[in-house]
Amino acid sequence: MASSPSTAPAQPFEPARISTGVPGLDDVLFGGLPSGQMYLIEGDPGTGKTTLAMQFIMEGVRNGESALYITLSEPRSELQASARSHGWDLAHLPIAEFVPAEASLSPEQQYTVFHPSEVELAETVRKLTLLIDERRPQRLAIDSLSELRLLASDMMRYRRQLLALKQFFAGRDTTVLLLDDRSAEGSDRQLQSIAHGVIHLEKVQRSYGATRRHAEIIKLRGSAYREGFHDYTIIRGGLCIYPRLVASEHEAAFPPDKLSSGLPTLDSMFGGGILRGSSALVVGPTGCGKSSICMQYAFAAAQRGERSIVYAFDEGVRIAIDRAHALGMNVQQEIDRGTLAIFQVDPADLSPASSLGASAVTSNSSIPAWSSSTASTAISTPCPASAISPSTCTSCSPISIRRALSPSSP
């Protein structure tokens, strides 16, 4: 009897993932870019497209893959200078230059019979494909499409060439990054639809402080990814992406005990201490002791051998240490033995995701709505004036606990 065909369900085809070489990006992509496909990296000038693509190429070289960076815009020397500024080894960055010779940009060299687009675009694409056929890279970056767009006299001709390029890559085991500075008028949706995946980089204008940068995966065909905006920075060493924090992914098991502040009277107000794993908001006017109370908790934990971090937003580390010493807390000793760390951060220069959750949060009396609602406990302390004459101060009361949630309370 003839054997019946197997009824086992067909396994979905999953292309292998390759690492992008950009810290944080593989996490956003759930393991890297599916290999052998064509991706669009789009963003305004200066958003870091070239830097990201160089990191991608160097990661390939480091992994022993053949890789190639084709530059149509910047000369090789400029790219190498940029790589050197990041401290990268140029031996890991194979570059092929397609920058038009200066002579061909001069008016005498302009074509008179044929429109330049008919000659140069076809010629450039032909040379590109010849080179790619010769080198057969597993990773390829083309920087940037705006040069091809300039060579094409109209968008239709340009898109036809891109479709031809996509067909050229089909069946070749090459993962391609196409860089685009969005110089086309309006959003080039057709370009987005041609690519298998689109990574969008953007700078966010703010009225004050350092530029904030966001990356977003617009699409990734046949694959899930971490949706939404992810902060990123460009520092010496390249792009670093901070995947959007999802609280539920960071749950860890810990004992449901109470944390002592080291001050028996304060602990007694919480029935023994603050519940471990909860957050507390310390509220009060300037000078009432918010920072000192927070330092007290951190110091007490450090003394028990638990590790604590203090992020100081509006004062220097030295001042925080000196004040703690004056209050009898030898924080330097705990810092030296690694149980306590104090960082000074400038909120204007910091993106939310690049700072991991602060373990101690203090706030002045003007509390933003979100902070009082997300803190599970709010401690308010009196202003110094009320300590002398509480009746003269109507804005505060002696230390009071406004709300203390425990797992059992609704």
Select the binding partner of residue 85 from Mg ion, ligand ATP, none (C-beta < 5 to 8 A, by kind). Answer: ligand ATP
Q: How far is the CB of 338 from ligand ATP (least distance, A)?
A: 30
Residues in 44-63 at the binding interface with Mg ion, rule: CB under 5 A:
50
E strands, 90-162, where?
A: 95-97, 139-143
Total residues at interface with Mg ion (CB under 5 A): 1
Q: Please state the φ and ψ torsions of residue 230, each to the nearest 5 degrees.
A: -120, 130
236 binds ligand ATP (CB under 6 A): yes
205 binds ligand ATP (CB under 6 A): no
Cis peptide leading into residue 4 (ω within 30°)? no
- Closest to Mg ion by CB, 183 or 333: 183
256 binds ligand ATP (CB under 6 A): no
209 binds ligand ATP (CB under 6 A): no
Q: How far is the CB of 129 from ligand ATP (least distance, A)?
A: 23
Question: Among 176, 145, 169, which residue's Cα sits nearest to residue 34?
Answer: 176
Dist CA 35 CA 37 (whole Å): 6
Select the binding partner of residue 45 from ligand ATP, Mg ion, none (C-beta < 5 to 8 A, by kind). Answer: ligand ATP
Paired residues of 231 in beta bridges: 214, 242
Select the binding partner of residue 243 from Mg ion, ligand ATP, none (C-beta < 5 to 8 A, by kind). Answer: none
Paired residues of 55 in beta bridges: none
- Say how far residue 311 (Cα) sits from the centre of its chain: 20
Residue 395 burial (C-beta neighbours within 10 Å; 0-12, 13-18, 19+): exposed
240 binds ligand ATP (CB under 6 A): no
77 binds ligand ATP (CB under 6 A): no
Dist CA 345 CA 310 (whole Å): 10
* Residue from 19, 65, 66, 86 binding ligand ATP (CB under 6 A): 86
DSSP 151-198: HSSSHHHHHHHHHHHHHHHTTS--EEEEEE---SSS--HHHHHHSSEE
* Residue from 24, 34, 36, 43 binding ligand ATP (CB under 6 A): 43
Q: How far is the CB of 364 from ligand ATP (least distance, A)?
A: 33
Q: How far is the CB of 317 from ligand ATP (least distance, A)?
A: 24
* Residue from 8, 235, 246, 247 binding ligand ATP (CB under 6 A): 235
Which stretch, 233-241, 289-297, 328-336, 360-368, contacts ligand ATP (CB under 6 A)?
233-241
What end-to-end distance do the CA atoms of the chain give, in Å? 67
Kindly tell me the sign of the dihedral angle through the C-alpha atoms of 368, 371, 377, 383: negative
362 binds Mg ion (CB under 5 A): no
Contact between 115 and 145 under an 8 Å Cβ cutoff? The reply is no
Q: How far is the CB of 27 from ligand ATP (least distance, A)?
A: 21
Select the binding partner of residue 181 from Mg ion, ligand ATP, none (C-beta < 5 to 8 A, by kind). Answer: ligand ATP
250 binds ligand ATP (CB under 6 A): no
Dist CA 251 CA 148 (whole Å): 48
Q: How far is the CB of 300 from ligand ATP (least distance, A)?
A: 40
Which stretch, 38-46, 315-323, 369-377, 386-394, contacts ligand ATP (CB under 6 A)?
38-46
* Residue from 21, 22, 36, 47 binding ligand ATP (CB under 6 A): 47
DSSP SS3 for 282: strand
CB closest to Mg ion, residue no: 50
Binding site for Mg ion (CB under 5 A): 50
